[in-house]
Structure 1
Amino acid sequence: MKILKIIYWVTTGLVAFGMLVSFFNYMFNPAMKAGYAHIGFPDWFRVELGIAKLLGAIALIVPKIPRPLKEWAYFGFFVNFFSAIIAHYAVNDPVVNMIAPLAVLILLIISYISYHKAIVKTLK
């Protein structure tokens, strides 16, 4: 059970760290604004998504957050990463642009599975 908790905290920490970095990029990096325009998304969506990433990262990392909020954070991140892959594909971006969202999606799935096996199971 201890190894599952380690896997959970490492993968969750990496996802949350990535989302915090992403939040700051979304808010303060002009290249991100240009990237959103390239894909065809409005600028307000970049800001909204950045705030959602910050809140989702907090929901994943803080241990006392109620389980339904964590589940929604996992779901929101899943939709976000999967949609990012599709968006890059739809505008014919190089495959390398799809690697980061795919890698974080895999980490998220591992975090979610280990969350249910190590954390939720011990709460029952």
Structure 2
Amino acid sequence: MQKEKRIYWIVIIIAMALIVLPSYFAPKAYLIESIHRLGFPVYFGLELDICKIVGAIIILIPAVPVMFKEWAYVAFGILLLSASLGHWLADGPAKGTAPLIPFAILCVSYYYFRKLNYPVTAKR
């Protein structure tokens, strides 16, 4: 159980870093241009940033109920798959596959999340 917990925390920190940090370290002009190219209004970037931070807090704070964490995982999954589709259609396959990397890491994290929070019970 300790090994699974360690793997979970390492993987979820990597996933959250890959999802949240690019909004703050990428040049702002590039982010605004990307949002405009995808056809979204400029304020959409701020909404995404706020939702990413809230989702990361929900997932990373252990005291948050499991149900909220499940919803945050769903939201991040939708976010990453939508980003993949949008970038694929607007920028081509190279940029469209980039969001699938954090999505795959998020899936590994979710696997260990389920393993830790929903232990298998013995069958009768």
- TM-score normalised to the size of structure 1? 0.86
- Measured after TM superposition, the shift of residue 3 of structure 1 is 2.4
Structure 1 spans left out of the alignment, 5+ residues: none
Alignment-derived partner of residue 55 in structure 1:
54
Look at both structures and tell me which one has the larger radius of gyration over its CA atoms.
Answer: 2
Residues 53-108 of structure 1: CA deviation (Å, up to 9, x unaligned): 011111111111111111111000000000011101222x2322123310000011
What is the identity percentage for the equivalent residue pairs of Structure 1 and Structure 2? 29
Structural mapping, 1:1-124, within 5 Å: 1-25=1-25, 29-91=28-90, 93-121=91-119
Please tell me whether the aligned partners of residues 22 and 53 of structure 1 are also in contact (alpha carbons under 8 angstroms). no
Which segment drifts farther, 39-48 or 73-82?
Answer: 39-48
- Measured after TM superposition, the shift of residue 18 of structure 1 is 2.2
- What is the Cα-based RMSD across aligned positions, in Å? 1.9
Distance 1:95 1:81 in 2: 15
- Aligned to 1:63, what secondary structure does the other structure show? coil
Distance 2:118 2:17 in 1: 22
- Aligned to 2:119, what secondary structure does the other structure show? helix
* Counterpart residue type for residue 61 of structure 1: L
Please tell me whether the aligned partners of residues 23 and 54 of structure 1 are also in contact (alpha carbons under 8 angstroms). no
